[in-house]
A and B are shown apart, each in its own frame.
Chain A
Amino acid sequence: MNDEPISLLNAGGSFTSSPELPFETDSTDVLALYNDMLMARTVDTEAIALQRQGELGLWPSMLGQEAAQIGAAHALLPRDIVFPTYREHGVAWCRGVDPVDLLGLFRGTTLGGWNPTENNFNLYTLVIGAQTLHAVGYAMGILRDGDVGTGDPDRDRAVLVFLGDGALSEGETNEAFVWAAAQHLPVVFFCQNNQWAISAPYSVQSRVSVAQRAQGYGFKGVRVDGNDVFACLAATREALAAARAGQGPTLIEALTYRRNPHTTSDDDGRYRTLAENDAWAALDPIDRLRTYLQSTGLLNDANVEDISRRGKALAEHLRSGCRALPVPGHASPFQNTYAELPDELERQMNEHLEFVEAAE
């Protein structure tokens, strides 16, 4: 099995078509991809700064994974639904989630942050791999709703679930693959193989590539250059189209690299080298797309200025929005634990509120 990742936009920024993965640059809003990748990086950069300033307790950076996330997200239709891990800040951006709402979980003002039903973008999942099964269940629901394989472009929908290389070792991910395959479900598993599960390298997880694993379950596995936004977009488009058409699941492996530590609390100097990091920095997904845009004349002074202005506004929105995130009320832990507050919980809530009031 040829396991070389499919690449359409190489590190030097030049586009080469591939018979394995059809993609037309003409029918793609390449500038929008570039804009969203830069906005994702802005969110990430600002969030790290906010963590350093003590405004966030923690931040899981996505630096280096912009092509994978923006490429995958641009393949989605609004009615498709996304199940993210906790690092899909770029996907959240593309789905229309206010990036300030991403900060709440890490600032300690909420356990969620947004209404998952508004943008078909579910809450972040911190327990590795757990969301793969939710995606499978949701896909079972879509199938039962009859919204798969009708051929009606306004009706068919699919599920896109994100996972990392670490999740490949979890039992629940195995169950998700088994169920998706056996039931031929409209779900696409998008694995960002960023090669490090905190300090565990991919070699600890597997002797074969992520994509190769799909074969054992009986569905298609595709391996793409995860720093190539065209390849990520094309592979996800194809997989989602197949899923919506009732052709079953696909596992996409986007081979990329997590250039920052696992989170702001991690020290990656203890388990990997700067040289490795530098080598991946040279493969930066945004740099190569910029080179491509410049070479094709799509980037000009006006839109460069425009994107820069938007980036600055977004950064300011994050800085002021973060500090303005409301601290939840004293009663909030008790609310929405159940549909109706049970008697004992009401007693505990009143006890707590009286205690807080007396202390104030």
Chain B
Amino acid sequence: MTTMTSRMPIAHALNLGLRHAMEADEKVMLIGEDIGQLGGVFRVTDGLQKTFGDHRVVDSPLGEAGIVGSAIGLAMAGYRPVCEIQFDGFVFPAMNQIITQLAKYRHRSEGAVTLPVVIRIPVGGGIGAIEHHSESPEAYFAHTAGLKVVSPSNPQDAYDMMKLAIRSNDPVIFLEPKRNYWLKGDVSTSTTTPSDLDRAVTVRKGTDLTLVTYGALVPVAMKAADVCQEEGRNIDVIDLRSLSPIDDKAVVASVQRTGRLVVAHEASRSVGLGAELAARVQDEAFYSLISPVIRVTGYDTPYPASRLEEEWLPGLDRILDGIDRSFTY
């Protein structure tokens, strides 16, 4: 495989990551609803069935438990299946297989059986969709021992993290920021080691406040940091990338420098990633904190009807408001 760099959207970077993983290892296969001929409803698997055949890119019957349950069996037989769940709100029929079976089997077998299964899920709102198509279920998975949970925010990470997730010997829940599928960026297919799957990345250096987020909110956080810059506030922006395990060292180190932390996510506030980060930061950096940890999040309600989602979602203004609250405490 030759190294190349080109500009492409996240959806194409994911596609390329899948393609290269399938070229590198014939045991890698894809399974999901409408992923073959149609290329998936978001076209992430476009063209892969044509290249690799219907034995490696499997159009499944409609059954999410079946997708994950059969992936478990395939992994037991030595394959590395990558499942596609069509939308965030449709993963719940598969939760039994994910939580009671997939997450636990390595532990139950004392390491004799590994289940290298990747479950790709388009997540999040902001696309004007009907119900069940805009949810952020990451906390359910991050709360489950045995699962890794990751979410790329840009095309380069989408490509690198897809390959790393497929190479992982632990099951990985791979959350794709669906509203940014068509966000473009440079992607290098360089074989040099990309950032580890479970490491956070500082995407903007700053000294005055730490802003942590992931997935679709990373570009919004960057805009917020731009606005703050004009006001003379230097924001340190961290893209968490891995939601389980959490790279709290990166967050704690940043807060020890800035003394302030704002966490933003689309998912509901209570018992979410923000709460976990707040707990870890007060544990490790209590005396560094100048102000309380602020969470800018979706609310503890069902995801609203789409005409309301713009105000419900933590957008630029709500993140800036959270930053203001931290500075004016």
Q: Identify the A interface with B (CB < 8 A).
A: 110-112, 115-117, 122-123, 125, 127, 130, 132-145, 171-172, 175-176, 178-179, 182, 335-339, 342-345
**Set of chain A residues within 8 Å of B108, measured between Cβ atoms:** 111-112, 123
Distance, CA A339 to CA B165, complexed state (A): 13
B203 at the interface (CB under 8 A from A): no
Report the interface size class on chain B: 35 or more
Taking a contact as CB atoms closer than 8 A, the residue among B66, B109, B111 that contacts A175 in the complex is B66
Taking a contact as CB atoms closer than 8 A, the residue among A117, A134, A172, A182 that contacts B73 in the complex is A134
B41 at the interface (CB under 8 A from A): no
* B72 with A343: CB separation less than 8 A: no
* B112 with A115: CB separation less than 8 A: yes
B79 at the interface (CB under 8 A from A): yes
Instruction: List the 5 shortest-distance A-B pairs measured between CB atoms, nearest first.
Output: A137-B73, A133-B69, A141-B77, A137-B70, A342-B245
Given A130-B69, A171-B65, A338-B146, the answer on whether A137 and B74 have CB atoms closer than 8 Å is yes
B107 at the interface (CB under 8 A from A): yes
Q: Identify the interface centre among B73, B111, B248, B249: most chain A CB within 10 Å of its CB.
A: B73
**Set of chain B residues within 8 Å of A144, measured between Cβ atoms:** 29, 55, 79
B14 at the interface (CB under 8 A from A): no
* B63 with A140: CB separation less than 8 A: no
**Set of chain B residues within 8 Å of A339, measured between Cβ atoms:** 106, 114, 168-170
- Per-residue CB contact flags for chain B residues 71-90 toward chain A (1 = under 8 Å, else 0) read 11111111101000000000
Given A141-B77, A345-B245, the answer on whether A127 and B96 have CB atoms closer than 8 Å is yes
Chain B, residue nearest A124 (CB): B108
Could you list 14 examples of A-B contacts with CB < 8 Å? Answer: A116-B109, A133-B66, A137-B72, A139-B73, A141-B73, A141-B76, A144-B79, A172-B66, A179-B63, A335-B110, A335-B111, A336-B109, A337-B146, A344-B248
B91 at the interface (CB under 8 A from A): no
* B97 with A130: CB separation less than 8 A: yes
Q: Identify the B interface with A (CB < 8 A).
A: 29, 55, 58, 60-61, 63, 65-66, 68-79, 81, 93, 96-97, 100-101, 104-114, 145-146, 148, 168-170, 198, 245-246, 248-249
**Smallest beta-carbon distance B52→chain A, Å:** 12
Main secondary structure, interface of B, reads: mixed
**Set of chain A residues within 8 Å of B145, measured between Cβ atoms:** 337
Chain B, residue nearest A143 (CB): B55
**Set of chain B residues within 8 Å of A117, measured between Cβ atoms:** 112-113
Distance, CA A141 to CA B74, complexed state (A): 5
Inter-chain CB contacts under 8 Å: number: 135
* A138 with B76: CB separation less than 8 A: yes
Taking a contact as CB atoms closer than 8 A, the residue among A112, A139, A178, A338 that contacts B66 in the complex is A178
Distance, CA A112 to CA B148, complexed state (A): 22
**Smallest beta-carbon distance B121→chain A, Å:** 19
**Smallest beta-carbon distance B215→chain A, Å:** 20
Chain B, residue nearest A171 (CB): B65
Taking a contact as CB atoms closer than 8 A, the residue among B75, B76, B97, B107 that contacts A337 in the complex is B107
* A122 with B110: CB separation less than 8 A: no
**Set of chain B residues within 8 Å of A182, measured between Cβ atoms:** 61
* B69 with A172: CB separation less than 8 A: yes
Chain B, residue nearest A145 (CB): B77
Distance, CA A247 to CA B114, complexed state (A): 30
* A137 with B61: CB separation less than 8 A: no
Distance, CA A278 to CA B28, complexed state (A): 54
15 extra interchain contacts, Cβ-Cβ under 8 A, other than A115-B109, A172-B96?
Answer: A112-B109, A130-B100, A132-B69, A135-B73, A137-B74, A138-B76, A140-B77, A141-B79, A145-B78, A335-B111, A336-B107, A338-B148, A339-B106, A339-B169, A343-B248
